[in-house]
Structure 1
Amino acid sequence: MDKEAQETITPPSSSSAQPSATSPHHDDLLLPTELQNSILVAYRSIGIGTFGVVMRFVGMPLEKIALFMNSSQVTGKHQFAQSIKLTFQKGVLSPYKVVGPASLVAWFMQYSVMGLAFQFFDHALSKALGVAPVYYGDELMEPPPPPSSNTNHNHDATHQIKSITKTILAPILAGSLESTVANRAEVQRYYGPTKLTAIESHLKWNPAARFCGPSFLSNAMRNVIMCNTSFILTPITFKLYYPQERKSQGSLFWFGMGMNFVGNAVAITQQALWGRALDYAVYADGGAVVGASGAATANTVTTQVARNISYSQVIKSSLQKDGIAAFFTVPKWASRILMNAPVQGSLPWFYNNVLPLGEDSVLGVVRTLYGDDGKKNNCAIS
């Protein structure tokens, strides 16, 4: 490679600003546009997925506390203290011992695919129904659109129905996809791998049920709620109602965090239902053993038996025992926030400030592998 070509593809060292991860400018690398975009999407997806795995693994004690807080294993007063005791009852490192390969894969898929999944469904449905996709990226910083007359196409009843239909379906599909990927691993971390295998074996589930895992419906509802919060409510309300003169990346971060707190206030009801449903699936009685729950006394042993989940029975028995506190208390909400805040709160910073630092290097490697005639190939492909 001659000196002139090298100077052409190398970013100047005096560049005053790093390119934004959401609006990259790497034209000087002379790669075909579609190839460059695909590489950047893959790079960011892998980066976000890896970041999610590390943060979730480090925060496993917080996750276990939140899981116990939203289960029937804690009740009455001092629920937070009870949850901490249960989390570490088998040792300081016990929360990490329930993390298996399925959890690592699920975390990676959850963080690398979820955002892309919503955008895919949002854009696919928008194109199919002939409506605009949800606001995204730099659009959030622009002023809200001016009011239109009632005769405008955007206010046509049919158009509005299509738009509402798309807005409802996109997060449902994306949230359900996330649960399909992640729920079984979450259940495995709740029960432990051995106990989950015993439950599945006793209930003789079909392959699809095994893949989705127990209590899938409540898990999916939780993810749909949070998907709506992150990808529908936050961008729309920020775009339309946040003061224009105060809009910035920082204000969007804090606004998103605030909306996340609100979304979690609703999502914890489903998180609690998920935990109580899993407790319902294993009960103390005689029959097929899925795990000992007590010591032998007078030649008797209390065993745990697996049964299919009945959500109506779970809700009824929970309300009878604990009232509304079975599904919502301030400590439950706080534990959910404690579990989510470290990774969700720092993800925008990581995405917009850390990942861009490696983009030029990654594209430079690809440019080297792609060949020195990238400019010619780019012209031919374009």
Structure 2
Amino acid sequence: VCQERLKSGASQAVIVNSGNANCATGDIGLMNAYRMAEFAASLLDIENEMVLCSSTGIIGRQLPIEKIGVGVKNIQMSRDGGNAFAEAIMTTDTRPKRIALEFEIGDRTVRLGGVTKGAGMICPNMATMLCYLTTDAAIDHEWIQEELHTAVDDTFNMIAVDGDMSTNDTCVLFANGLAGNAPINAEHPDAHIFREALRRVMTYLAREMARDGEGATKLMTVHVRGARDKTDAVKASRAITTYALWQCALAGGDPNWGRIVGALGASGCELYQDRYDIYIGDVQVTKSGTAADFDYEKARAVMAGNEVRITVDLNIATAHATAWGCDLTHGYIDENTLYTR
């Protein structure tokens, strides 16, 4: 439904349900998606084609469409509704993910906000996450389409919880132009301001999804520098975030850097055994591919924190990338042995 309706580049609303993915549901599921959109259009008194729809949850079950219809009729529109929306779209998330910024474009005050849901199977490119961004800025459609794609590549496409994927993902940005600014495009003198705001919002939301991974207790940030090219930097950083042995070490607070080396070797990036350096926080644990003389207890103290940063310098060229992930705990197993009950 969304792919069809987004071809025009125009939309006014989105309706979202959680708990049911409306996936692998055939013609009935497609009809129900259109009906959901009709419910919202009727409530808002807008054209059906101006409504997008999203679903998230268990695969293979038909939507309780009549129940959804009743629920939509009971919605009360409110300026504070964004908070309730962020909570309503959650599935295995333990907390809502939301953020809003206010900044100046020319002589006008502009707002940009966003909410996401996602706590597992967010790999390799989005997958099983939903994101809705709204702004009152006036923006050139072609320019923001390119900026959004680029920002997704560096944020949502750089997070992982378990290295797995599933069926439903969405990232939509709505811009209504009510701020009254001159439309932002590549030539606009303040284009960089909006770009930076968009990156801040999406980076925050990406990190919060990784932080709230199923069963997670720690956020992992992996920065790889000195790579041959951006592709290799992405490969290396993402491989570390999805390496189960390292995720388990992270859960246990064990600075077993050999697990990081294993992930690097398996990543497919260009790697020289006598060049790479690895840091856990500020503690250098390898130098030129061999064990550094480091304070083990200091490294353990870093691993005990609720945010752990890993830096890898491949010492080949200048390309770099940052990825985010989390630890792998018994809580992840508990969550995924009981999901459909």
Normalization by structure 1: what TM-score?
A: 0.26
More contact order relative to length (CA 8 Å, sep ≥ 6): 1
Higher strand share: 2
Normalization by structure 2: what TM-score?
A: 0.28
The structure with the largest alpha-carbon Rg is 1
Higher helix share: 1
